[in-house]
Chains A and B, each alone.
Chain A
Amino acid sequence: MERDDIIEYSLDTHHDEEAGKKIRKKIYFVTVLLSVVTAIEVAMGIIWGKAHIDVDGMGWLTIKSIFIILTLLKAGYIVMVFMHLGDERKSLRNVILIPYVLFIGYLFFILLVESSFIFYVKDVIGWV
């Protein structure tokens, strides 16, 4: 269990050469992972980009979903490893991530719903 009666301070986070080696190994792993994922995204964008695919079909929806999943994967590694949020107290992590994800998730949801409605009004039934 985490004891909260001991004051640790982030200014005191020092480590020796041994621990540094381990941390660097992790950094290099994440570097390779981010580069490979970016390369995959670009290759997908060139081969199956919007220019070459039926935008209304299921194929484009799948590609789009894969793009978003890969992006969230990259974002997770950047935040958790590069920004050390994975090593901070759990409470700090929750305070930062949960309100943000909930709010932006809802914002995207409601804007896409409204956008579909505008498309419907304008282009499908032609009110405007």
Chain B
Amino acid sequence: MAGEATKAIDQAELWGGGRSPFSVSYGKMMMWFFLISDALTFGGFLSALAFARHHLEDAWPVTENIFFHFPLTHAHLPLLYVALMTFILIISSVTMVLAVEAGHRMDRKGVVKWMAFTVLGGAIFVGSQAWEWMTFIAGPDGLLSTSADNASLTSNPYGPQLYADFFFFITGFHGTHVLSGVVINLIVLIRSMQGWYDERGHYEMVEKVGLYWHFIDLVWVFVFTFFYLI
């Protein structure tokens, strides 16, 4: 019963005090700390959105009347493209968790396959968001010009200025996260292909970037509800 370890752990991997708090490695704990601080940022954004739209409720535009475009068609399809983007992000989250699972079995081929799908899904999402921004900026006339009816941080043809500001800040901040997530996933994909993690003896790096990637999906779930649906 005395404090004896079941398994000798390399001194280099133990925390300073000779223990590992919560039984997690240092890197994973720090990833969770980072995610908490990032979640506070997004929590700030979304609560500010709630504050603004709650007292501007009457003037606040109806989302279905703005986001009804779909690439390559002129049909009126409210919310469907955003729903598709949401679905793509959820699926890329699933391929990520499958990569983590493959990593626990030390299955390099599995990790490479699922990480590749994750990178692809993330890239499609970033591209979709760029298209979404372009459509939103163009305004109701659909023309990207320098005229005043384009949406920007200082003008908004759809309604209150705050609506455009929140759109750009929230989806922009989220999109930046997706972009950096794609880059980080790509690095981990290349390193898995090179066999770095087999050499190291564990695939925990996949799990750590996985936490970040799932967090991005988590944020989008809330953005989808609070910005687009409600």
Give the B-binding residues of A (Cβ under 8 A): 5-17, 20, 23-24, 27, 30-31, 34-35, 38-39, 41-42, 44-46, 49-51, 55, 64, 67-68, 70-71, 74-75, 78-79, 81-84, 88-89, 91-92, 95-96, 100, 103-104, 107-108, 111-112, 114-116, 118-119, 122-123
Contacts and interface: CB of A to CB of B under 8 A. Distances in A.
User: Which of B3, B23, B90, B225 counts the most A-chain CB atoms under 10 A from its CB?
Assistant: B23
- Helix, strand, loop or mixed for chain A's interface? helix
Contacts of B19: 7
Given A5-B1, A104-B47, A41 B98 contact: no
B87 A35 contact: yes
A117 B131 CA distance: 38
Contact of A88 (B24, B50, B91): B24
Nearest to A16: B105
A74 B100 CA distance: 20
Contacts of A49: 62-64, 78-79, 229
Nearest to A50: B62
Contacts of A74: 221
Interface string B41-72: 00110011011101101100011110000000
Contacts of A122: 55
B211 A83 contact: yes
A87 to B, nearest CB: 11
B228 A45 contact: yes
